[in-house]
Chains A and B, each alone.
Chain A
Amino acid sequence: MFLHSRRNQIWLGLLILGLALDLWIIVNHTPMIPQQHWAQKIFYIHVPVAWTAFLSYFVVMIAGIAYLVKKDNRWDRVGLAAAEIGTVFMSLVLVTGPIWAKPIWGKPWVWEPRLTTSLILFLIYIGYFMLREFGGHPERIARYAAVLGIIAFLDVPIIFLSVKFWAPEVQSHPQVEMAKQPTGILGPFFYSLALFTILYVFMMLFRIHTLKLKEEVQSHAV
């Protein structure tokens, strides 16, 4: 089993400690921003979660290309694991964003470019899982899923650049420039970002391990 390995147990322990430390730093050692107060501290979690979701969808795209080129099932497993984990993180983005927006904008959701394009990406991946479930022959599912994963990623740069693409009148999203942030924000922010990236790698290895076991069992059962 994945967690029977000593190395994986150590990594999991370090990640739990790292996340506890992250929370402690966010609560005790980050500046309180006027007007936003505690709501602003959501961003130390929200932005790394969003980064992890986009990174995961990038992996889906890479795995999709690799699968189409090599026709190797390993890449299909990588794509599926990344799509699942990416969608878990994307759901958290879509939940934590409105929790921040409610006290700051006065309403949890506004149909502005970044929010709308993020929701579209999430819905594309709901479609991706429907295809995985009902797509027919496994080889065909893998091929279609690879293509969909590549196309879906086109939305990520649109989300990223949406605050510049659309006219300022339709924007509600904060147009953050890192260099202009008050001191004391960047250190905890990058720590959180790095930690979520390591957590993502660990989650990927765990999920791929399970998918491989499942495939081995099912291939012999047929």
Chain B
Amino acid sequence: MQYEFLSYFVTATSLVFLTLIAWFGFQIRSNAKWYRKARERKDLS
């Protein structure tokens, strides 16, 4: 059967790519947060 086990492949691949997207999402947010704080500190000094 040509599509046998296709759902397993789709599930595994989606999980990997969604995890990577989530990781980058968190990193962009975290990077922006600390960058903002670093700038605030420079503005104060």
Contact partner of A39 (CB less than 8 A), chosen from B9, B28, B32, is B9
Report the count of interface residues on B (CB-CB < 8 A). Answer: 28
Q: For chains A and B in complex, what number of residue pairs have CB atoms within 8 angstroms?
A: 85
Cross-chain contact B9 with A49 (CB below 8 angstroms): no
* Interface residues of B, dominant DSSP: helix
User: How far apart sit A210 and B24, CA to CA, in the bound complex (Å)?
Assistant: 12
CB pair B15–A95 under 8 Å, yes or no, is yes
Please, what's the 1-or-0 string for A26-44, where 1 marks a CB less than 8 Å from any CB in chain B? 1000001000111101100
Q: A2-B31, A216-B38 are in contact. Are A96 and B16 (CB under 8 A)?
A: yes
18 example contacts (A-B, Cβ-Cβ < 8 A) are as follows A1-B35, A2-B31, A19-B20, A23-B13, A23-B17, A37-B1, A37-B5, A38-B6, A39-B9, A41-B9, A42-B9, A45-B13, A88-B23, A96-B15, A199-B20, A203-B23, A217-B41, A221-B41
Cβ-defined contact, A92 with B15, below 8 A: yes
Determine if A214 and B17 form an interchain contact, defined as CB atoms under 8 angstroms apart: no
Q: Which of A38, A209, A220 contacts B41 (CB 8 A)?
A: A220
Chain A residues within 8 Å of B5, by CB: 36-39, 103
Return the CB mask of B1-24 against A: 1 if under 8 Å, else 0: 111111011011101110110011
A21 in contact (CB, < 8 A): no
Q: Are A102 and B8 in contact (CB under 8 A)?
A: yes
> 8 nearest interchain CB pairs?
A39-B5, A213-B34, A37-B4, A38-B9, A99-B12, A38-B5, A96-B12, A38-B6
